[in-house]
Amino acid sequence: MDFFERQRTARGTSAKLVVLFVLAVLASVAVIDVIAVLAMQGRGNVTGVLVVVSAGTLLVIVGGMIGKSFALRKGGSAVAASVGAVPVDPTTTDPALRRFVNVVEEMSIASGVPMPRLFVLPRERGINAFAAGYTAADAAITVTEGALSQLSRDELQGVIGHEFSHVRGGDMRLSIRLIGLLYGIMLLGLVGSRVLALGGRGSDRKGALPIVAIAFGAMVVGFVGQFFAGLIKAAVSRQREWLADASAVQFTRQPDGLAGALKKIAGLPEGSRLADERSAKEVSHMLFGEGRRFSRLFSTHPPIHERIAALDPTFREADLETLRERWRDEPPPGPAGDVTHGLAPAVTAPVAVTPEQVSARAGTLTPADLDRGAALHSQVPPHIHQLATQPSTAASVVLAMVVCGEPGLRATQLAAVQERLGIATARSVDALVAEVAALPRHLRLPVVGIASPQLTGRPDHEQQALVAALDDLALADGAVSLFEYCLTRTVRATLQDAADPASRSRPGSTAVRQATDEIVAVLTALALSGNADRVAAERAFAAAFAHLRSGAPVPEMPAGPAWRRLDACWPVLDGLARLEKRLLVEAMVVAVLDDGKLTSSEAELLRAACALVHVPLPALIA
């Protein structure tokens, strides 16, 4: 299942969950109403009681759902914090944490998504992990302390690859919605239990009998609802875990890493269990392995021997006991250091691609992509890397990429930075201009991706000032270069995604025929940027439009639109239906190609354009 199909399936699953939730709510109200009618026989106005009971039941369930969803509105970090996870300092020198950070940074660069925030569940000896968030920009990846201390680098990479599949595949939004939906039903049972406990204390127990009966009914309905909610959660989660395992194997170097992590879960006493039962229950459907002991009926993951056998066909269920006996007295080897695996050399020559090849690569990774990501990561100068991962200097690094070396223009740009962000930031940018200017062009956007968590972590007013300052710097010379547009719009989109992840992650349903004006504007800009002259650009534009709207008349290519006018096009194109976006991506590839080969600047433009419509592309050129 490719990226676009998987996202379409995720949307269908979300719709089914909403329908099931509505049915569950209506059934809950009906059952409690029946109990209320029985309890009020001969006691007065039954109709009025039914109205009050129905309204109260709806208030508890819907209120609980909305309240929980609102608490998690900030996405991945909120989910991680809710279960007691501790943020990881990206500049850490702790060997285990450094290895974790490096593995995720390499995958982030390779996959074309912003660096997620990283968390650790302390004092959890089980091997487990989960990814949470609405979009890649607000994503958080959490691992247990046991995963860091007991997994080798290849095994950790396999686990992180599994979680990255959830980040790229649209699973995270579904997971957070599950938490909110199921919390409302659970709250009904808790409220019923509380009222029932209080109902037996008063002196007028006979008068309180109807209230006690209704509370008992709410408690029963709530817990029965949890029973069926658990079944739904398990069914949804199991299928997605199979897909994530397959995706992790697709782009890690070998299946042994993921299989090794699963074998350690199966063979070590702690397994994947979480000591904190509350946390394990709330995020059970997100975890890499089972967080609690479940019967197979409620298991949120496929049986572990089946997951291992899918990676190692020689493995049998009977081998589980063999692993447990072997490691009972002699635990398996753990981390083997932050070793580097055969990095691919930097590639600067154009590479031959087809539109179909690029769209097939969207949201996926191959071993070659991972090698490119590791190669790019290793080429980032240590000092620049440290500055990009520090909250106090990350924005300065990004701003310095747009500052010109010409003295007069540079002074104007620094004055704009000072006006927007203060004199301290202006001085910091000024000190970094020469060092950042020496950074190879192909490393600049990867560095922006590494800096993303530090940018999204700034207060809202500082984020707005940063975006405005980037626009000021890009326009200081009266024109916006291709690189400046890619950088400023990528940063803006990342900050917008992180600020309002719930709404920015909503799937679209627009057809390409409904966005003709926006498509023409974007394809025109891409054709003019990716081709040497106007005639070649018109030819590329016509081919791109024909690819997207087969059989439709090809309009005349207009004069190139101003970059700022393009900003209104991206939200419309982001609202395209998932499978329609596949055609858009392929058309954009056609628009930038003039000779069937992708140069580094064209690849940079293409990745930025795709990112603006939430289609992550791997690093096609390192």
Query: Would you name the residues annotated as active-site residues?
Result: 163
Give the helix/strand (H/E) hosting 129.
Answer: strand 129-132
Amino acid at 268: L
Dihedral class, residue 364 (left if φ above 0, else alpha if ψ from -120 to 50, else beta): beta
Q: Are 426 and 332 in contact (CB under 8 A)?
A: no
3-state secondary structure of 584: helix
Which residue matches tokens 């024109």? 479
What are the residue ranges of helices labelled H in 283-393?
A: 304-311, 319-329, 355-361, 367-379, 382-388
Lookup: tokens for 443: 């490393």
Phi, psi (rounded to 5 degrees) for 261 = -65, -40
Name the DSSP letter for residue 137: G
How far apart are alpha carbons 258 and 245 in whole angstroms?
8
Q: Could you tell me which residues come within 8 angstroms of residue 374 by beta carbon, excluding any fewer than 6 positions away?
A: 106, 110, 340, 341, 343, 344
Write down how long the chain is. Answer: 622
Strands 140-144 vs 117-121: parallel, antiparallel or unpaired: parallel
CB atoms < 10 A from the CB of 277, how many? 11
Dihedral class, residue 437 (left if φ above 0, else alpha if ψ from -120 to 50, else beta): alpha
How far apart are alpha carbons 574 and 501 in whole angstroms?
14
Sign of CA dihedral 420, 421, 426, 432: negative
3-state secondary structure of 140: strand
Q: Could you tell me which residues come within 8 angstroms of residue 476 by beta carbon, excluding any fewer than 6 positions away?
A: 404, 409, 412, 413, 416
Distances (CA, A) of 31 to 53, 184, 188, 246, 250: 11, 16, 13, 43, 48
How far apart are alpha carbons 252 and 364 in whole angstroms?
11
Distances (CA, A) of 443 to 368, 379, 438: 18, 8, 10
Cα maximum dimension of the chain: 91
Nearest residue to 277 via CA among 84, 116, 75? 84
How far apart are alpha carbons 491 and 444 in whole angstroms?
12
Nearest residue to 264 via CA among 234, 296, 307, 301? 307
